[in-house]
Amino acid sequence: LMKKIFCFLIFIFFLTLTSILNAKENIVFIDLNYILNKSNSGKKILNELNIISNDNKKNFSSQETLLEKERNDIKKLKNILSKDEYNKKVVLFQEKVELYNKEKAKIIKSFENKKKKELDIFFKSLNEIMNVYMKENSISIIIDKKNIVMAAIKNDISNDIIELINK
C-alpha cells in the first residue's frame, strides 16, 4: 500500500513538473523611466515641470537674496537705533521671513501636486496602451526593468510602447 501511494505521488509530481515546464508564458519587460524621458508626451510633461521648477528656484533665490540684504541692513542698524526700535525691525523681519517660508512651502506643495497629477495621467494612459499591447501580442506579464536582475534584450518592449504612445 505504501509503495502504491509513493508511486502515485511520484507520478503526480512528474505530471505537474512537465506541465510547468511545457507552459510557455510570454514575459517581457519595460523601462518606465526611459519611456517617460523618450516619448513625446513624456518629454512635454518633463519639460513643462522643469520650466516651472526653474522659475520657482529663480524666484526663491531672488527673494532670499533680498531677505539676506534686508537682514544685513537691519544688523547694521543695531548700534544706531534704540533697542526698542531695533527689536521692532527684527520682529517685523522675522514675520516677513515666516511669511516667505509659508509661501515657499505652498508653492512647493502646489508644484508637487501638479507633478503627481501630470505623471498619474501619463502613466494611466501608458497603462491603457500596455493593456492593448499585451492582448494583441499574447503577453502574460510585463515587468518594470528596474526589478529585473537579468533578461534577454529581445524581451524589452520599451521602444514598441514609445512608438504606440507617439502615434
Q: Which three cell numbers stand for residue 26?
A: 510570454
Mapped to the 3 state alphabet, what secondary structure does 25-57 carry?
CCEEEECHHHHHHHCHHHHHHHHHHHHHHHHHH
> Quick one: which H or E segment has residue 81?
none
Q: Is the pLDDT of residue 41 over 90?
A: yes
- Quote the Cα angle for 20-25-29, to 5°: 135
- State residue 21's pLDDT score: 46
Q: Are 38 and 156 in contact (CB under 8 A)?
A: no
Across 43-47, 50-54, 84-88, least confident range: 84-88
Q: Which three cell numbers stand for residue 81?
A: 537705533
Read off the amino acid at residue 166: N
Rounded-to-integer distance, Cα 106 and Cα 134, Å: 41
pLDDT of 109 reads 97
Residue 52 has pLDDT above 50, yes or no: yes
Distance CA 128, CA 150 (A): 26
Task: Please give the average per-residue pLDDT across 133-152, as a whole number.
Answer: 84
pLDDT of residue 18: 54
**pLDDT (tens digit per residue) in 99-131:** 999 999 999 999 999 999 999 999 999 999 999
Is 20's pLDDT higher than 60?
no
